[in-house]
Chains A and B, each alone.
Chain A
Amino acid sequence: MTLTSVATVAAALSLLIGSIFIVIGSVGLLKFNDPMTRLHAPTKVGTLGIGMLLLASILASIAKGDPSMHELLIMAFLFVTAPVSANFIAKVCIHSRACKTPPSPPRDGTWSTLDTPDGDGTPAPQGR
Protein backbone atom coordinates (compact mmCIF):
# COMPACT_ATOMS: atom_id res chain seq x y z
CA MET A 1 0.00 0.00 0.00
CA THR A 2 1.67 3.16 -1.15
CA LEU A 3 0.66 6.69 -0.20
CA THR A 4 -1.07 7.14 -3.55
CA SER A 5 -3.42 4.20 -3.16
CA VAL A 6 -4.18 5.06 0.48
CA ALA A 7 -5.05 8.64 -0.53
CA THR A 8 -7.18 7.36 -3.44
CA VAL A 9 -9.17 5.01 -1.20
CA ALA A 10 -9.60 7.75 1.42
CA ALA A 11 -10.81 10.19 -1.27
CA ALA A 12 -13.27 7.60 -2.56
CA LEU A 13 -14.64 7.00 0.94
CA SER A 14 -14.95 10.75 1.55
CA LEU A 15 -16.81 11.15 -1.74
CA LEU A 16 -19.26 8.39 -0.81
CA ILE A 17 -19.87 9.74 2.71
CA GLY A 18 -20.31 13.29 1.41
CA SER A 19 -22.79 12.28 -1.28
CA ILE A 20 -24.80 10.21 1.23
CA PHE A 21 -24.99 13.20 3.59
CA ILE A 22 -26.02 15.58 0.81
CA VAL A 23 -28.86 13.28 -0.29
CA ILE A 24 -29.97 12.86 3.36
CA GLY A 25 -30.06 16.64 3.79
CA SER A 26 -32.20 17.15 0.70
CA VAL A 27 -34.57 14.30 1.64
CA GLY A 28 -34.93 15.81 5.11
CA LEU A 29 -35.75 19.19 3.55
CA LEU A 30 -38.50 17.49 1.57
CA LYS A 31 -39.90 15.08 4.17
CA PHE A 32 -40.14 17.04 7.44
CA ASN A 33 -43.46 18.69 8.14
CA ASP A 34 -42.66 21.87 10.07
CA PRO A 35 -40.67 24.91 8.87
CA MET A 36 -38.42 24.97 11.94
CA THR A 37 -37.83 21.22 11.69
CA ARG A 38 -37.05 21.53 8.01
CA LEU A 39 -34.35 24.04 8.93
CA HIS A 40 -32.37 21.30 10.70
CA ALA A 41 -31.75 18.98 7.78
CA PRO A 42 -29.90 20.98 5.09
CA THR A 43 -28.05 23.43 7.33
CA LYS A 44 -26.19 20.82 9.38
CA VAL A 45 -26.16 17.71 7.22
CA GLY A 46 -25.47 19.62 4.03
CA THR A 47 -22.57 21.45 5.64
CA LEU A 48 -21.05 18.13 6.70
CA GLY A 49 -21.60 16.71 3.21
CA ILE A 50 -19.88 19.58 1.40
CA GLY A 51 -17.08 19.38 3.98
CA MET A 52 -16.51 15.72 3.15
CA LEU A 53 -16.51 16.50 -0.59
CA LEU A 54 -13.90 19.23 -0.10
CA LEU A 55 -11.83 16.80 2.01
CA ALA A 56 -12.10 14.35 -0.90
CA SER A 57 -10.80 17.08 -3.21
CA ILE A 58 -7.78 17.60 -0.94
CA LEU A 59 -7.12 13.84 -0.77
CA ALA A 60 -7.48 13.48 -4.55
CA SER A 61 -4.93 16.23 -5.11
CA ILE A 62 -2.56 14.41 -2.71
CA ALA A 63 -3.13 11.18 -4.64
CA LYS A 64 -2.46 12.95 -7.92
CA GLY A 65 0.92 14.21 -6.75
CA ASP A 66 0.55 17.98 -6.19
CA PRO A 67 -1.06 18.58 -2.78
CA SER A 68 -3.24 21.70 -2.51
CA MET A 69 -4.87 23.04 0.62
CA HIS A 70 -7.03 25.71 -1.07
CA GLU A 71 -10.18 23.77 -0.26
CA LEU A 72 -9.70 24.49 3.46
CA LEU A 73 -10.56 28.11 2.62
CA ILE A 74 -13.96 27.17 1.18
CA MET A 75 -14.53 24.79 4.11
CA ALA A 76 -13.81 27.52 6.68
CA PHE A 77 -16.03 29.99 4.81
CA LEU A 78 -18.94 27.54 4.64
CA PHE A 79 -18.60 26.47 8.27
CA VAL A 80 -18.71 30.10 9.36
CA THR A 81 -21.53 31.31 7.11
CA ALA A 82 -23.94 28.34 7.28
CA PRO A 83 -25.11 29.05 10.89
CA VAL A 84 -25.50 32.74 10.07
CA SER A 85 -27.79 32.07 7.11
CA ALA A 86 -29.68 29.45 9.15
CA ASN A 87 -30.22 32.04 11.87
CA PHE A 88 -31.56 34.50 9.29
CA ILE A 89 -33.96 31.89 7.88
CA ALA A 90 -35.15 31.07 11.41
CA LYS A 91 -35.78 34.76 12.00
CA VAL A 92 -37.82 34.85 8.79
CA CYS A 93 -39.87 31.87 10.05
CA ILE A 94 -40.52 33.62 13.39
CA HIS A 95 -41.29 36.90 11.67
CA SER A 96 -43.88 35.35 9.34
CA ARG A 97 -45.50 33.47 12.29
CA ALA A 98 -44.86 30.14 10.55
CA CYS A 99 -43.89 28.50 13.83
CA LYS A 100 -44.76 28.69 17.50
CA THR A 101 -43.56 32.07 18.72
CA PRO A 102 -41.35 32.22 21.83
CA PRO A 103 -43.06 33.06 25.13
CA SER A 104 -43.13 36.66 26.20
CA PRO A 105 -40.65 37.63 28.93
CA PRO A 106 -41.86 37.79 32.55
CA ARG A 107 -43.06 41.21 33.56
CA ASP A 108 -41.10 42.72 36.45
CA GLY A 109 -40.02 46.23 37.18
CA THR A 110 -36.33 45.47 37.58
CA TRP A 111 -33.97 46.92 35.01
CA SER A 112 -30.77 44.91 35.12
CA THR A 113 -28.23 47.69 34.75
CA LEU A 114 -29.78 50.22 37.10
CA ASP A 115 -31.57 48.27 39.81
CA THR A 116 -30.42 45.74 42.35
CA PRO A 117 -31.95 42.34 41.51
CA ASP A 118 -33.71 41.90 44.85
CA GLY A 119 -34.55 45.55 45.38
CA ASP A 120 -38.05 46.91 45.64
CA GLY A 121 -37.86 49.06 42.55
CA THR A 122 -35.65 51.81 43.93
CA PRO A 123 -32.47 52.45 41.92
CA ALA A 124 -29.13 51.32 43.31
CA PRO A 125 -26.88 53.97 44.84
CA GLN A 126 -24.42 55.45 42.36
CA GLY A 127 -20.64 55.30 42.54
CA ARG A 128 -20.24 51.83 44.03
Chain B
Amino acid sequence: MTTAAELFDIALIVALIAPAVGQVLCMIRLVIGPTTGDRILALDTMVINALSLVVVLGIHQGVTVYFEVALLVAMLGFVSTVALARFILRGDIIE
Protein backbone atom coordinates (compact mmCIF):
# COMPACT_ATOMS: atom_id res chain seq x y z
CA MET B 1 0.00 0.00 0.00
CA THR B 2 2.70 2.44 0.93
CA THR B 3 4.86 1.35 -2.01
CA ALA B 4 1.97 2.03 -4.41
CA ALA B 5 1.53 5.52 -2.96
CA GLU B 6 5.28 6.19 -3.16
CA LEU B 7 5.35 5.00 -6.80
CA PHE B 8 2.41 7.28 -7.57
CA ASP B 9 4.18 10.26 -5.98
CA ILE B 10 7.35 9.62 -7.98
CA ALA B 11 5.32 9.22 -11.20
CA LEU B 12 3.50 12.48 -10.43
CA ILE B 13 6.80 14.34 -10.07
CA VAL B 14 8.10 12.83 -13.33
CA ALA B 15 4.86 13.72 -15.11
CA LEU B 16 5.12 17.31 -13.85
CA ILE B 17 8.71 17.64 -15.11
CA ALA B 18 8.27 15.97 -18.53
CA PRO B 19 5.77 18.46 -20.10
CA ALA B 20 7.91 21.34 -18.80
CA VAL B 21 10.94 19.90 -20.63
CA GLY B 22 8.73 19.45 -23.69
CA GLN B 23 7.66 23.10 -23.48
CA VAL B 24 11.30 24.23 -23.50
CA LEU B 25 12.10 22.04 -26.54
CA CYS B 26 9.02 23.32 -28.38
CA MET B 27 10.07 26.89 -27.54
CA ILE B 28 13.46 26.27 -29.15
CA ARG B 29 11.76 24.96 -32.29
CA LEU B 30 9.40 27.96 -32.20
CA VAL B 31 12.37 30.34 -32.20
CA ILE B 32 14.60 28.60 -34.77
CA GLY B 33 11.89 27.06 -36.95
CA PRO B 34 12.75 27.85 -40.56
CA THR B 35 9.25 27.72 -42.04
CA THR B 36 5.86 28.97 -40.90
CA GLY B 37 4.49 25.41 -40.68
CA ASP B 38 7.14 24.55 -38.10
CA ARG B 39 6.15 27.50 -35.95
CA ILE B 40 2.45 26.60 -36.12
CA LEU B 41 3.32 22.99 -35.25
CA ALA B 42 5.45 24.14 -32.31
CA LEU B 43 2.58 26.29 -31.00
CA ASP B 44 0.16 23.37 -31.36
CA THR B 45 2.52 21.09 -29.44
CA MET B 46 2.95 23.74 -26.75
CA VAL B 47 -0.82 23.86 -26.29
CA ILE B 48 -0.90 20.06 -25.93
CA ASN B 49 1.95 20.18 -23.39
CA ALA B 50 0.18 22.91 -21.41
CA LEU B 51 -2.94 20.72 -21.46
CA SER B 52 -0.99 17.82 -20.02
CA LEU B 53 0.46 20.11 -17.34
CA VAL B 54 -3.08 21.15 -16.37
CA VAL B 55 -4.22 17.50 -16.27
CA VAL B 56 -1.30 16.42 -14.07
CA LEU B 57 -1.89 19.42 -11.78
CA GLY B 58 -5.51 18.33 -11.49
CA ILE B 59 -4.42 14.83 -10.49
CA HIS B 60 -1.96 16.30 -7.97
CA GLN B 61 -4.43 18.63 -6.26
CA GLY B 62 -7.51 16.47 -6.69
CA VAL B 63 -9.68 19.37 -7.89
CA THR B 64 -12.40 18.75 -10.49
CA VAL B 65 -12.32 22.31 -11.86
CA TYR B 66 -9.17 21.47 -13.83
CA PHE B 67 -11.29 19.23 -16.07
CA GLU B 68 -13.18 22.24 -17.44
CA VAL B 69 -9.91 24.15 -17.79
CA ALA B 70 -8.40 21.28 -19.80
CA LEU B 71 -11.42 21.06 -22.09
CA LEU B 72 -11.33 24.82 -22.74
CA VAL B 73 -7.58 24.74 -23.44
CA ALA B 74 -8.06 21.84 -25.89
CA MET B 75 -10.81 23.65 -27.80
CA LEU B 76 -8.88 26.94 -27.84
CA GLY B 77 -5.75 25.18 -29.10
CA PHE B 78 -7.57 23.48 -31.97
CA VAL B 79 -9.36 26.64 -33.04
CA SER B 80 -6.21 28.76 -32.88
CA THR B 81 -4.19 26.20 -34.87
CA VAL B 82 -6.82 26.00 -37.58
CA ALA B 83 -7.14 29.80 -37.66
CA LEU B 84 -3.37 30.28 -38.01
CA ALA B 85 -3.07 27.64 -40.74
CA ARG B 86 -6.06 29.07 -42.57
CA PHE B 87 -4.64 32.57 -42.38
CA ILE B 88 -1.41 31.35 -43.96
CA LEU B 89 -3.28 29.32 -46.59
CA ARG B 90 -5.96 31.79 -47.66
CA GLY B 91 -4.80 35.17 -46.35
CA ASP B 92 -8.02 35.42 -44.40
CA ILE B 93 -9.70 33.43 -41.63
CA ILE B 94 -13.39 33.81 -42.39
CA GLU B 95 -14.13 34.77 -45.96
Cα distance, A13 to B78, chains bound together (Å): 28
| Residues in B whose Cβ lies below 8 Å from that of A42 | 26, 41, 44-45, 48
* Contact in complex: A46, B45 (CB < 8 Å): yes
How many residues on chain A are close to B (CB under 8 Å)? 55
Interface string of B45-62 (1 = CB under 8 A from A): 100110110011011001
Interface string of B8-38 (1 = CB under 8 A from A): 1011101101110111011011000011111
Cα distance, A13 to B7, chains bound together (Å): 9
| Residues in A whose Cβ lies below 8 Å from that of B58 | 57
Interface string of B68-91 (1 = CB under 8 A from A): 001100110010011001101100
What secondary structure prevails in chain B residues at the interface with A?
Answer: helix
What secondary structure prevails in chain A residues at the interface with B?
Answer: helix
* Contact in complex: B70, A74 (CB < 8 Å): yes
* Contact in complex: A29, B41 (CB < 8 Å): yes
Cα distance, A4 to B78, chains bound together (Å): 35
Known: A18-B52, A53-B56, A92-B85. A85 touches B70 (CB 8 A): no
| Residues in A whose Cβ lies below 8 Å from that of B67 | 68, 70-71, 74
